[in-house]
């Protein structure tokens, strides 16, 4: 192996920062339904929050200039994050970072592939967030004999309010008689 091997599908779990990335992603997903590379750098204490705020306000021209690691390690972290997100079945979603109508830059080079890697948020698929804090059990599933809920528009009015209840739809609990 060379001195700085590139993470691949075959070896990405062997890289030193991988367990830290896994822990950072777990903490982020416990709070919200998506992970951004910027938040991973924050969680790993490689990006000071104050510098991130200054970059978002346009006071720092390039985010990489305030990340506390070299560019090779930052690139490896971005790549390892994508591999881990794939394992978790997170969907990539490109996000635009702007300040007063101007795109914020992540990298010194401005290369589109690098900018996209930083700008891609990884989103939980589906309505339920299995990573959220307090979700120890699966969401409740209705039993086979359970009746579906009756829509509010189909519910019968209370007897005191209506002189003769008439069915409004097929979900109504009032029985009808054929004439």
DSSP for the chain, please give it.
Answer: --SSPPP-TTTGGGSTTHHHHHHHHHHHHHH-SEE-HHHHHHHTTSS-HHHHHHHHTTSSSBGGGGSSS-HHHHHHHHHHHHHHHHHTTEEEEE---EETTEEPB-SSS--HHHHHHHHEEEEE-SS--TTSTT--SPPP---TTPPPPPPGGGSPPPTTT-SS----STT-SS-----
Tens of pLDDT, residues 144-166: 444 545 544 444 545 455 455 55
Instruction: Say yes or no to pLDDT of 68 above 70.
Output: yes
User: What's the sign of the alpha-carbon dihedral 100, 102, 107, 108?
Assistant: negative
Which phi and psi angles does 102 have, rounded to 5°? -105, 140
What tens digit of pLDDT does each residue of 39-53 get? Answer: 999 999 999 999 999
The whole-model pTM stands at 0.71
Give the per-residue pLDDT at 153.
47
Whether 135 shows a pLDDT value over 90: the answer reads no
As a whole number of angstroms, the distance between CA 25 and CA 31 comes to 10
pLDDT, tens digit, for every residue of 5-37? 889 888 999 999 999 999 999 999 999 999 999
> Alpha-carbon distance 129 to 28, whole Å?
12
Contact 150, 173 (CB under 8 A): yes
pLDDT band at 127 (very low <50, low <70, confident <90, very high): confident
> Quick one: tokens of 58?
């346009």
Residues 6 or more apart from 35 whose CB is under 8 A from it? 25, 28, 29, 81, 85, 90, 121, 122
> Domain spans of the chain?
12-124
pLDDT tens profile 69-97: 999 999 999 999 999 999 999 999 999 99
pLDDT digits (tens, 9 = 90+) for 107-117: 999 999 999 99
């Amino acid at each position: 192996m060379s001195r700085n091997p590139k993470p691949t599908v075959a070896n990405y779990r062997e890289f030193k920062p991988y367990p830290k990335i896994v822990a950072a992603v777990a903490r982020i997903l416990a709070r919200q339904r998506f992970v951004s590379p910027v938040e991973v750098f924050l969680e790993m204490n490689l990006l000071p929050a104050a510098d991130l705020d200054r970059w978002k306000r346009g006071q720092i021209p390039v985010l990489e200039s305030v990340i506390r690691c070299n560019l090779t390690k930052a690139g490896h972290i971005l790549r390892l994050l994508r591999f881990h997100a794939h394992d978790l079945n997170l969907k990539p979603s490109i996000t635009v970072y702007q300040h007063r109508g101007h795109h914020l830059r992540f990298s010194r080079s401005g290369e589109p592939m690098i900018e996209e890697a930083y700008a891609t948020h990884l989103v939980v698929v589906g309505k339920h967030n299995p990573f959220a804090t307090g979700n120890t059990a699966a969401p409740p599933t209705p039993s086979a004999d359970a009746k579906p809920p009756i829509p509010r528009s189909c519910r019968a009015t209370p007897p005191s309010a209506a002189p003769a209840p008439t069915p409004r739809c097929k979900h109504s609990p009032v029985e009808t008689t054929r004439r």
